[in-house]
Structure 1
């Protein structure tokens, strides 16, 4: 990879337990590509991890890989052969298993040597480690890794430091050496294996960063899922791996370690993201309501209280993301403060989740405790819609230019490919706002609280304005525009955004039927999920981040809306496409994949920089489970 290019991820192996992750090649070594290494929080602690053995000629060489298996999100087993110390017969008799286990702040590798030789085997094994301490944002931008660190220690223990961050390396029975002036730490074992036997050695890296703003989950998973006997085996496998990934993505904040939320995803988003964490918890509601309740409380504690253009904070607004330090993207002109509020949809989605969680069994006392936050969020929605619709505009010129879920700079385009000018009022955000107001009205009524009548009137007024202003007619048909631009014109590209309107209540049943039919039509349905943009749009490209690719969570939200709108057959079409994609990606769905048609491609091409696992891509499996098993 060239400097300045974002690393590719699609063919790398990841093991994780938030906020710790290890990226490697299929041989288990790290360092061959730009993403690889051992990370904790927003820092890459180790750039290279290389395993070697010494052959009889005295040369060090890597084992020859033959297998890789993920036992769960945090555990990977790499299988290899040591033919350089084997006998001359055709069958390999010396194997090495490399068991990698990731826990929060700790990475452990167990090297198990198996010998079927009829004589004792003595082998020197060596692990070479290169400390790094590069900020995650520099890795993402393709910047060169850092190398300034110091090390102390003797015997089998070494401590590596850079400022307050440190790595404690422990390798029982190994000899540890540090290559001056701080280039590499080497661990060497002399391993003896008796005839037809096995033996093992271990090493571990304990990673310490006092600046972390997140904590690992402190309790067992709160959900238990029993799958029906008669279920598509692809769905069974997807749900299995998805729940493992969701378990590994759980985090908490130091101010309330008992309240957990889902980190958005690996490798870049191991932290709280308002929109992502809310949608993930919402999609998981059919099997667990506790994560929804705790996510609501976490975000309520960070709810905006003042006007601050630099952070985009406003009273009642729900935060977009939280990091330990300022987040800058070199070359993109984006600089975000540690706590950033630049999202237009997290606030109505917070309200929607509270309404749904209350219906799913969230204790009434817990719901009541959040009523002040609910009212503040509703006031923000009302204020944001002062000109008729909920809209956004970055006021800093270095924040996110687009603040819906499609937050790339080119995501809001006209059919001819030109970009829309802001302020932007996204169609799906109006649907979220309608659902939030109508749902909150019903919730307040059920609790004997005032305000329901005013909210219902506000929602009805929004629905009338939406019907008057958003619908456009193009050669592809009649549908809601993706957005209104600064002049109030409907941006006329057909996109997946309109699918998020289904089931919110802002569309009539006839309008829902029109929208649903378009989304399962040939320009939008790839056969592996719903495309983000129609193939008939000038800006369509199957490998565009938001302009033609397929996102699992996006398609799942659409299928969920179709089911809520009574369009069950359309929902099952979308689910079937996602199952085909899940199988192609070995049931660990990435953030997104290419929008090529299943009629021309036997499997979806990966989007090579897609995060994996991604929380809402994993939670999409639960949506598909509910639709597929609904009678």
Structure 2
């Protein structure tokens, strides 16, 4: 079994664990700052490798008594505890502060404060290990230390190295005044009365003997690093939000902070920021996740979508490779840096996904409406055309007009849509569907891709090409509504299986079809009725699978749980088809759920009815923060504002329908083209300050079925 075929879930971290993250580096520790080597998923990770697997601080022979753990920034945390006094007294006046920074390695600033009236001698030891385990192995609980691990003291630092599959990974640990041994570091210090002692422990990762370009160093403060400056710049650049409902304000602010913490940068193009899927296990570029998260984050910063598109374009498939499932024009599913990924693929990118490629084109079309400069959009059009070629040549395996997936190997993902767990696609009776599988939402994404390319052609002034892709979209819409519709059930099949049989389970996937607009208008009311039924809507959000289906399990990953991003896209579809009250109910359900998660929505939570428990039941292995979960409240706020900039027509729609409980809403510093605008809303009234020249405010919602506003009809483009 290789990395890509591993279960999509992760083993649970310790209860009360603290996660800090910066770029693709992260650290998970216990609430007192320690990291245990006794199994589990805790550790510090750099380039998908665990560079610290054991990190235990002892003072005077004992562990600290934990007092508090505070995460001041996404990349930093402070742990406060009380240390044992040498005479063993219980009410010790010796306080320990341990401030941790994560980045290209790790820095722990450890301070002991002596509140006693006499000096004290302290023996301090930091026990360290580094198993150099690949992230996939840690995530799956398959860690076994390599036999050729070496431990040595070099220039006053403990250096632990191991060779895995031909690559040498290592960790160097050192500190001023610290005496390095093969077990870790030791200090013997005298702390004066009412005084303090401080040291900085520096961890430097080594890849084939080389340190990263910008490691932590003792003489340079962590907040001077480029990664920290990027976070501070992000916080200055995102919208400043004020909402009468302080809970919603806190939720939106938390979403913006988390999206900033999940950005990753291309070393060759440091000006580009893409969004990683989520912490801790998915701090990497994921085609589908990154595209959807950046789409839902457009109101925070459209440049995040631009950077994601640019980064994915650089990884677009060029050849046919059954191992990695690369194909010409295909957008990758996942990019990794660990040695297990390289071993299984012969590279670092895995392409086994059916939906990232059409979503790439759809998002680019959306950016042309948003007002991104031609310098950003124009170079990506050639990549969009290559993606469309993949859809026709490789995605549509049998020429029936629909995109299917079937892995060409025994180690790739069995299911290659967003529900990518092994049992994620099933019939109403619980039977598993067999590939090749054509998912309903993937056809919706392809429809959006055709619309997006039509828009790009209009933007470029190419009327024949605009008409070509409009016609392709209309043809697909007709075929989809014929082949996927289940007239006896009143909703769409989640998929067609290998025999072209409709997979008849009732799922949230059909809500994505509303979002993209592929659903015929006369079928939408029945679809909405099913999505809002007690079998699907829990009161907190939309279940992934209806509670009366054979495979339903409220504590499963994809068969009955609630995913905030999924629910947000369903709500967007409800709003698009004019089901305003239903969309508002769903949005308020997610907002209410967020309050029970300290205003940070997790990747998913369990699918129990709202009346069963006082709050939503957490899913034990959910990622948090997670990009599309963080973006979900932003998207829901946008649909309640009914805020839609359409630069291709020179208008900006703003027609709010804010619930009374939300009260007034104000967002300053919202980026539109090169201008910074302020959005004001209350109830059904709204205004925008600082609109760029040439844009007109339209106090009406975008037409319900317009995606984009120029909308597609059979045989041509409407609403020119």
Same fold by TM-score greater than 0.5: yes
Structure 1 gaps, min length 5? 55-59, 179-183
Distance (whole Å) between structure 1 residues aligned to residue 122 and residue 331 of structure 2: 57
* Shift, 1:365, TM fit: 2.9
* Shift, 1:629, TM fit: 4.9
Contact preservation (8 Å) 2:505, 2:549? yes
Q: For 1:479-506, what per-residue CA distance to the aligned partner results, in whole angstroms no more than 9, with x for missing partners?
A: 1111111222211111111111123121
1:624 equivalent among 616, 620, 636: 636
Distance (whole Å) between structure 2 residues aligned to residue 189 and residue 584 of structure 1: 45
Which residue number in structure 1 is paired with residue 483 of structure 2?
Answer: 469
Which residue number in structure 2 is paired with residue 444 of structure 1?
Answer: 457
Which residue number in structure 1 is paired with residue 401 of structure 2?
Answer: 388
Which residue number in structure 1 is paired with residue 157 of structure 2?
Answer: 157
Distance (whole Å) between structure 2 residues aligned to residue 553 and residue 424 of structure 1: 23
Which residue number in structure 2 is paired with residue 269 of structure 1?
Answer: 282
* Shift, 1:296, TM fit: 1.1
Which residue number in structure 2 is paired with residue 134 of structure 1?
Answer: 133
2:549 equivalent among 531, 537, 543: 537
- The 1:619–1:559 alpha-carbon spacing in structure 2 relative to 1, beyond 3 Å, is same
Distance (whole Å) between structure 2 residues aligned to residue 241 and residue 25 of structure 1: 22
Distance (whole Å) between structure 2 residues aligned to residue 226 and residue 372 of structure 1: 32
Stretches of 4+ aligned residues off by more than 6 angstroms: 86-90, 211-218
Alignment of 1:88-127 (within 5 A): 93-103=93-103, 105-127=104-126
- The 1:541–1:415 alpha-carbon spacing in structure 2 relative to 1, beyond 3 Å, is same
* Shift, 1:255, TM fit: 4.2
Contact preservation (8 Å) 1:529, 1:577? yes
Distance (whole Å) between structure 2 residues aligned to residue 444 and residue 48 of structure 1: 56
Which residue number in structure 2 is paired with residue 57 of structure 1?
Answer: none
Alignment of 1:225-624 (within 5 A): 225-324=238-337, 327=340, 338-383=348-393, 384-385=395-396, 386-449=399-462, 450-473=464-487, 477-624=489-636
Q: For 1:138-165, what per-residue CA distance to the aligned partner results, in whole angstroms no more than 9, with x for missing partners?
A: 2122123416433443675333333532
Distance (whole Å) between structure 2 residues aligned to residue 213 and residue 310 of structure 1: 30
* Shift, 1:37, TM fit: 1.2
Q: For 1:279-338, what per-residue CA distance to the aligned partner results, in whole angstroms no more than 9, with x for missing partners?
A: 1111111121212112111111222233333332222221112223675699xxx97963
Contact preservation (8 Å) 1:303, 1:316? yes
2:50 equivalent among 40, 44, 51: 44
1:29 equivalent among 15, 34, 37: 34
Secondary structure at the counterpart of residue 191 of structure 2: strand
Which residue number in structure 2 is paired with residue 144 of structure 1?
Answer: 143
Q: For 1:238-268, what per-residue CA distance to the aligned partner results, in whole angstroms no more than 9, with x for missing partners?
A: 3333333322222233443432211222233
Distance (whole Å) between structure 1 residues aligned to residue 565 and residue 207 of structure 2: 32
Distance (whole Å) between structure 2 residues aligned to residue 136 and residue 200 of structure 1: 32
Contact preservation (8 Å) 1:22, 1:39? yes
Distance (whole Å) between structure 2 residues aligned to residue 81 and residue 568 of structure 1: 54
Which residue number in structure 2 is paired with residue 62 of structure 1?
Answer: 63
Distance (whole Å) between structure 2 residues aligned to residue 225 and residue 564 of structure 1: 26
Distance (whole Å) between structure 1 residues aligned to residue 510 and residue 289 of structure 2: 19
Instruction: State how many pairs are aligned.
Output: 610
Distance (whole Å) between structure 1 residues aligned to residue 584 and residue 531 of structure 2: 12
- The 1:510–1:194 alpha-carbon spacing in structure 2 relative to 1, beyond 3 Å, is farther
* Shift, 1:35, TM fit: 0.4
Q: For 1:426-458, what per-residue CA distance to the aligned partner results, in whole angstroms no more than 9, with x for missing partners?
A: 010111111111221122112113411111111
Distance (whole Å) between structure 2 residues aligned to residue 600 and residue 338 of structure 1: 44
Contact preservation (8 Å) 1:166, 1:209? yes
The range that moved more, 502-511 or 13-22, is 502-511
Which residue number in structure 2 is paired with residue 9 of structure 1?
Answer: 13
Contact preservation (8 Å) 1:35, 1:139? yes
* Shift, 1:47, TM fit: 0.9
Contact preservation (8 Å) 2:205, 2:211? no
Contact preservation (8 Å) 1:335, 1:398? no
- The 1:355–1:191 alpha-carbon spacing in structure 2 relative to 1, beyond 3 Å, is farther
- The 1:214–1:162 alpha-carbon spacing in structure 2 relative to 1, beyond 3 Å, is same
Contact preservation (8 Å) 1:428, 1:500? yes
The range that moved more, 8-17 or 368-377, is 8-17
Structure 2 gaps, min length 5? 1-6, 215-225, 643-655, 657-720
* Shift, 1:532, TM fit: 0.8
Q: For 1:82-107, what per-residue CA distance to the aligned partner results, in whole angstroms no more than 9, with x for missing partners?
A: 354589697x643222211112x121
- The 1:326–1:432 alpha-carbon spacing in structure 2 relative to 1, beyond 3 Å, is farther
The range that moved more, 6-15 or 278-287, is 6-15
The range that moved more, 483-492 or 32-41, is 32-41
Contact preservation (8 Å) 2:84, 2:90? no
- The 1:255–1:119 alpha-carbon spacing in structure 2 relative to 1, beyond 3 Å, is closer
- The 1:459–1:156 alpha-carbon spacing in structure 2 relative to 1, beyond 3 Å, is same
Contact preservation (8 Å) 2:515, 2:569? no
Q: For 1:31-53, what per-residue CA distance to the aligned partner results, in whole angstroms no more than 9, with x for missing partners?
A: 15510111111111111111111
Q: For 1:186-237, what per-residue CA distance to the aligned partner results, in whole angstroms no more than 9, with x for missing partners?
A: 3334250423x44432212122336999999694555733344334322222
- The 1:115–1:564 alpha-carbon spacing in structure 2 relative to 1, beyond 3 Å, is farther
